[in-house]
Structure 1
Amino acid sequence: MAKKKIVSIEDRIPRLKQERKKKANRRLIFYLSIFFVLISIIVYLQSPLSDVNTIKVKGNSYTEDEQIKQQSGISENTNIWMINEEEVVEAISKNPIIQSVDVSKNLPWTVEIAVSEYNYVGYIKKDGNYFPVLGNGSVLTDLKRNTTGGNAPVMMNFSNEKYVQKMAGQLTKLPDSILKLISEIHWKPTDENKNKILLYMNDGYLVDGTIRGFAEKMKAYPSIVSQIKPGTKGIVHIGVGAYFEKYNPADSNTGKKKNSNESE
């Protein structure tokens, strides 16, 4: 039977001291590391290193980048950690063109602002100028133009804001392919029907309809005109039922309308 090796207490004490010293050193290094990390964070937060260096704006077509940056209240002197995303969203959302906003921080010093804008669904003509109408019915009186560019119909005689908003709401529901076919929309209210409208189409037809339910009824327009004999002009009715009415010879000039984008 092998004899157990006996280690004297004198031999063990130096070894225990050495192990304790190593543990103490590791503990000191750990605490010093945390201390220096905290100091580095404080220095970073208090120095220009934490200031915004880049502001990226995306999703905008009608609003300039600089305008959105200015409305955000963020500048290159802004500490990225002091930015309140909700306040920035609220500030930019005051722009009537902006439909939604998303703000995100990309460390160490970049802020990204993603916006969604209301589309131009029409133009109001006044004093020879054209003012864009947004999908929410807002008329941008600060953005007057000499021409529409043909990207949306002109809304004529819409003197009542309520009906501007109702018409704009219907136009937002139209497919772009149909919206681009409309040259002018004339509001022609009567005592019996305040929603009555008359449309001049780019393909030469007139459309007699009403604002109420217009978008849904207008979707039938391509199908109706596809069944009309080429060269035949008349009025497409989309009120109660949908049908085509050919012009009478005496009314041959009824459908002739100068394009709204031409000078008058």
Structure 2
Amino acid sequence: MAFFRKKQARAQKQVQKEPTEIIKPWRRYLDKKDQASETIRPARPVGEVLPKLKATRKRHLKRNLIIVLVPLCLLLIFVAYYVSPISKVGNVSVQGTEVIADQTIIDHSGVQKNDHILKLLRQKKKISAAILAGVPGLKTAELNISNFNQLTFNVTEYRQIGYLNKKNHYYSVLSNGTILKDVVAKPVGNLPVLEGFTEGKKLNFLIKTFKNLPLSIQNDISEIHLTHSKINPYQVRIYMNDENEVIADLRTIQKKLPNYPIYAKALKQKGVIDIEVGVFAYPFSKDTKK
């Protein structure tokens, strides 16, 4: 009996709730549904949406075609260029040479007839270094490529200061002390002929001294022979264009030889001017005249 009484009391409590309290959850649900329906945009007509959809698809199609076709075309162009004759070495020329043979520079570059231009473009610095290492008479060397496959080596030589006479063969002597290996048929220009010199300390000393002499004295010198006596390894005999001869020391030429016009004027006839230690002159005898 007690159980039924409790159940009856619980039912009475539920009946005692206000009707408004019972429908509140349902009301909140309806309010939320109305708000959601208000935010939904009205559907646009199919005729308005369809053209825009087609335009969007066309844009996407064009973009995809570009992404695929552009790399493919570039690849085809590259392959066509790589197998064509213009991708390989064509005409080769050298600019800036006066003393050194053009073929010498081309040979030391290592460039071959069938080399690809793209390979040479990657190795430009290496090629320049190889030329300078193989041809010491050059200050600079640069490879330029034009018209797809035309090669030009632009070089700068050291200045030529004279010719070395070795067993009646002449070799160009450059201002950096290099003696070129190519034989010259005969000396050209107003440059002195050297004898008895080899590449090294004494030749470098002479070049340094010669470059510091007045230009007028340089032009007066015809030949310079390294006589290097036992007493003086730096002794030289200088043959002047006016037919006088000068005995001198390489170490004092720069100081004494600029006064040569004064010494020559003091001579009454052609002879020898000795400025090796002091300064004195004497005319040629039959035994000393060249």
TM-score by structure 1 length? 0.71
Instruction: Work out the CA distance in 1 between the residues paired with 2:115 and 2:205.
Output: 42
Map residues 100-249 of structure 1 onto 2, 5 A cutoff.
Answer: 100-106=140-146, 108-143=148-183, 145=185, 147-158=186-197, 161-172=200-211, 178-190=217-229, 193-212=232-251, 214=253, 216-217=254-255, 220=258, 225=261, 229=265, 247-248=281-282
Partner of residue 139, structure 2 = 99
Pair 1:191–1:81, CA change in 2 (3 A): same
Which position in structure 1 is the counterpart of 2:119?
82
Give the Cα–Cα distance (whole angstroms) in 2 for the partners of residues 108 and 213 of structure 1: 56
Task: Say whether the 8 Å CA contact 1:195–1:212 is kept in structure 2.
Answer: yes
More helix by share: 2
Runs of 4 or more above 6 Å deviation: 234-241
The percent identity for this pair of structures is 26
Relative to structure 1, is the Cα distance of residues 238 and 8 closer, same or farther in structure 2, using a 3 angstrom cutoff? Answer: farther
The equivalent residue for 2:13 is: none
Give, in whole Å, the separation in 2 of the partners of 1:22 and 1:60. Answer: 62
Would the alpha carbon gap of residues 54 and 133 (structure 1) be closer, same or farther in structure 2, given more than 3 Å must change?
A: same
Q: Is the 8 A contact 2:162 2:194 kept in 1?
A: yes
Tell me, in whole angstroms, the C-alpha distance in 1 between the residues paired with 2:87 and 2:222. Answer: 53
Q: Secondary structure at the match of 1:100?
A: strand
Tell me: CA distance 1:149–1:61, structure 2 relative to 1, closer, same or farther (3 Å): closer
Q: How many positions carry a matched residue from both structures?
A: 243
Aligned ranges for residues 21-36 of structure 1 at < 5 Å? 21-31=57-67, 32-36=69-73
Tell me which amino acid in the other structure corresponds to 2:205: K
Rounded to whole Å, the distance in 1 between the matches of 2:173 and 2:57 is: 78
SS of residue in 2 equivalent to 1:155? strand
CA shift, 1:144, in A, is: 5.6
Q: Structure 2: how far apart are the matches of 1:138 and 1:100?
A: 15
Q: Measure, in 2, the Cα distance between the counterparts of 1:218 and 1:104.
A: 47
Structure 2 residue 90 is matched with structure 1 residue 50: no
Question: How far did 1:127 drift?
Answer: 3.0
Shift of 1:58: 0.3
Q: Secondary structure at the match of 1:21?
A: helix
Q: For the structure 1 residues 37 and 89, does the alpha-carbon distance in structure 2 shift closer, same or farther, using more than 3 Å as the test?
A: same
Counterparts of 1:60-71 in structure 2, within 5 Å, are 60-71=97-108
Distance in structure 2 (CA, Å) of the matches to 1:104 and 1:50:
15
1:115 is matched by which residue type in structure 2?
A: V
Looking at CA atoms only, which structure, 1 or 2, has the larger radius of gyration? 2
Shift of 1:79: 0.4
Q: Deviations over 1:207-234 (max 9, x none)?
A: 44332364x547835xx62797598566
Show structure 1 runs of 5+ residues with no match: 1-5, 259-264
Deviations 1:57-113 (A, max 9, x none): 101122333332233222331101111123322332212433331122335222221
The one-letter amino acid paired with 1:181 is D
Decide whether aligned partners of structure 1 residues 79 and 135 sit closer, same or farther in structure 2, where only a CA change above 3 A counts. same
Alpha-carbon offset, residue 27 of structure 1:
0.7
1:13 aligns with 2:52: no
Summarize the Cα distance change of 1:19–1:227 in structure 2 as closer, same or farther, 3 Å threshold: farther
Shift of 1:164: 2.9
Q: Match of 1:42, SS? A: helix
Are residues 169 and 67 of structure 1, via their aligned partners in 2, closer, same or farther at CA, if it must alter by over 3 Å? same
TM-score w.r.t. the length of structure 2 is 0.66
